Structures are given as structure tokens and as C-alpha cells.
Amino acid sequence: MQRGAAWAEVIEAYGNEFKIDIKVAGKVKKFLTIICEQFDQILERFAKLNCEKLLPCNCDLCKPLNIKSFYKLSDLKNRLSNQKEVVECPKNRYKAILILPMLEETFDMNTTSQILGIPAAIASGDIHGACVT
């Protein structure tokens, strides 16, 4: 798939578990956001299907590697909702990785708060001032 200066590769992987890998490159972050929105709409029709979104670690060790550490998006959202700003990379001696910059590298933050269910104050970087319900 291609959109402007960005491209995406969507690969279905079969084996012990069904998996869809999405790789996006280019300068248009909104492209991945749009792809995630479309997948979410498709998956809504399958109530019994369990789906977990994973984000690759962006630390200086993992970023250039083909085999990266991944974080469950639900765990990252939970950490942010509990005013935790970091996650630890298991491959990089548990180095603290800031969550918001990792999300900003991956998603269009103008729409991330709605798509990911993150309160707008948190998505804008105001973790400590956010009122989370």
C-alpha cells in the first residue's frame, strides 16, 4: 500500500498463532493511524476474536534491529492512565523508554487520543495534569 510519501506492508502470518504484521515507513504518520482505524472497524464485527496491538521498542539498541522488543499497546495505555511515563526495554538492560515519544513516532498524535482511548491531556504530554476516569 502507498499513500503520499508513506508505504505500508501488511503481511498475514500463519503458524502456531494467526498474526498480521504491519510495517509502515515514510513521513506520513497518519497512514498507520488510518490503517489501525480500519482494522478496528473490521475487528468490531468479530466479538470473540482477541486482538492485541504491539508497538516496537524505539530505544537505541532495538531501533536498528530486525528482532525488536515489543510492548502491548494496552499495557502502554494502562501505564499512561496511571501516570507512568516509562516502560523498560528487556533487551537493553531494562533501560527506561519514554512512552509518549514512542507513540509519537508511531501514530498521528492529533487523533491518537481518540483511537487509542488515551485522554487528550495525556496524548498532548500533560500526564500529571490529566484526569483519568
Domain boundaries, the chain: 1-51, 52-133
Q: Report the distance separating Cα 83 and Cα 49, nearest Å.
A: 30
Q: Which residue has the higher pLDDT, 119 or 24?
A: 24
Q: Which residue has the higher pLDDT, 17 or 73?
A: 73
The phi-psi region of residue 94 (left if phi > 0; otherwise alpha if psi is between -120 and 50; otherwise beta) is left
Mean pLDDT: which of 14-18, 88-92, 114-118 is highest? 88-92
pLDDT at 126 over 70: no
Q: Which residue has the higher pLDDT, 104 or 29?
A: 104
pLDDT at 24 over 60: yes
- The confidence score (pLDDT) of residue 108 equals 72
Cell numbers at 120, concatenated: 487528550
Cell numbers at 13, concatenated: 502470518
**Sheet (strand 2-3) strand order:** 2-3, 6-13, 19-26
Q: What is the pTM of this model?
A: 0.70
pLDDT at 133 over 60: no
- The confidence score (pLDDT) of residue 131 equals 34
pLDDT, mean over the chain: 77
